[in-house]
Structure 1
Amino acid sequence: MRQDLAKMVYDDIGFEDITTCALIPPGLMVNGQIMAKEGGVIAGVELAVVIFKEFGVETDVMVVDGEKIKNGQIIMEISGDPRSILSVERTVLNLLMRMSGIATLTRNIIEMVRSVNPNVLVAGTRKTTPGLQFFEKSAIRAGGGDTHRYRLDDSVLIKDNHLALVGGVDEAISRARKYVSFTKKIEIEVESLEEALHAVRVGADIVMLDNMDPDKVKDVIVALKKENLRDNALIEVSGGINSDNIIQYANTGVDVISTGYITHSARSLDLSLDLEKMHQ
Structure 2
Amino acid sequence: MARADLSITPRLRQQLAEWLQEDLGRGDLTTSALRGREGEAHWLAKADGVFCGGVLLEPLVRELVGSSEPRLDWQLLVGDGTPVEAGQRLLELRGPAEHLVALERTALNLAMRLSGIATATAALVAQLKGTGVALADTRKTTPGLRTLEKYAVRCGGGVNHRMGLDDAAMLKENHLAWAGGVTAAIAAVRADAPWPARVIVEAESAEEAQAAVVAGADAVLLDEFSPDALKTLVPSLRAQAVLRPARTSVVLEASGVNPAELPLYAATGVDLISSSAPMTRSSWLDLSMRFTPAGS
TM-score (norm 1): 0.93
Aligned to 1:272: 288
The DSSP-based 3-state class of the residue aligned with 1:245 is: helix
Partner residue, 1:14? 25
The structure-2 alpha-carbon separation of the partners of 1:2 and 1:55, relative to structure 1 and needing over 3 Å to count, comes to: same
Q: Which runs of 5+ in 1 are unaligned?
A: none
2:53 & 2:197 partners in 1: Cα distance? 29
1:97 pairs with 2:112: yes
Find the counterpart in structure 2 of residue 239 from structure 1.
256
> Given the alignment of the two structures, is residue 46 of structure 1 paired with residue 55 of structure 2, yes or no?
yes
The separation in 1 between residues aligned to 2:188 and 2:99, in whole angstroms, is 53
Does the Cα contact within 8 Å between 1:124 and 1:147 map onto a contact in 2? yes
CA contact (8 A) 1:30 1:276 kept: yes
Q: Please give the per-residue CA displacement for 1:119-143, whole angstroms capped at 9, x wherever unaligned.
A: 1110001111111111111100111
Letter in 1 for 2:210: L
Instruction: Give 5+ residue unaligned stretches, structure 2.
Output: 1-11, 66-71
| Structure 1 residues 224 and 278, CA gap change in structure 2 (3 angstroms) | same
Secondary structure of 1:274's match? strand
1:195-251 deviations in Å (ceiling 9; x for gaps): 111111111111000111111222211322444649720000111432x22222122
Q: 1:153 & 1:227 partners in 2: Cα distance?
A: 28
**Residues in 1 aligned to 2:54 and 2:258: alpha-carbon distance in whole angstroms:** 29
Contact 1:33 1:78 in 2 (8 A): yes
Aligned position for 2:35:
26
SS in 1 for 2:252: strand
SS class of match (2:52): coil
Counterpart-to-counterpart distance in 1, 2:44 and 2:287: 6
* Worse-superposed segment, 36-45 or 224-233: 224-233
Q: Distance in 2 between matches of 1:60 and 1:53?
A: 15
Q: Hey, what's the Cα distance between the residues in 2 that align with 1:150 and 1:223?
A: 30
For residue 61 of structure 2, what is the amino acid of its counterpart?
F
Percent identity, aligned pairs only? 37
Note if contact 2:50-2:156 (Cα within 8 Å) is conserved in structure 1: yes
**Which of 221, 224, 227 lines up with 1:214 in the alignment?**
227
- Tell me how far apart the structure 2 counterparts of residues 206 and 34 of structure 1 sit (CA, whole Å): 43
Deviation at 1:17, TM superposition (A): 2.2
Listed one character per residue, the Cα deviations across residues 58-105 of structure 1 (whole Å, up to 9, x for unaligned) are 211111111111222221111122222212211111110111111111
Q: Report the equivalent of 1:137.
A: 150
Contact 1:241 1:261 survives alignment (8 Å): no
Whole-angstrom distance in 2 between the partners of 1:152 and 1:210:
19
CA contact (8 A) 2:214 2:241 kept: no
Residues 16-50 of structure 1: CA deviation (Å, up to 9, x unaligned): 222x235x231111111111112211111101332
Q: TM-score, normalised by structure 2?
A: 0.88
Matching residue within 160, 165, 171 for 2:178: 165
Q: What residue is the counterpart of 2:76 in the other structure?
A: 61
Partner of residue 124, structure 1: 137
After alignment, is 158-167 or 252-261 more displaced? 158-167
Q: Which residue of the partner structure matches residue 195 of structure 2?
A: 182
2:251 aligned partner, one-letter code:
L
1:80-95 to structure 2, matched below 5 A, reads: 80-95=95-110
Q: Distance in 2 between matches of 1:34 and 1:129?
A: 25
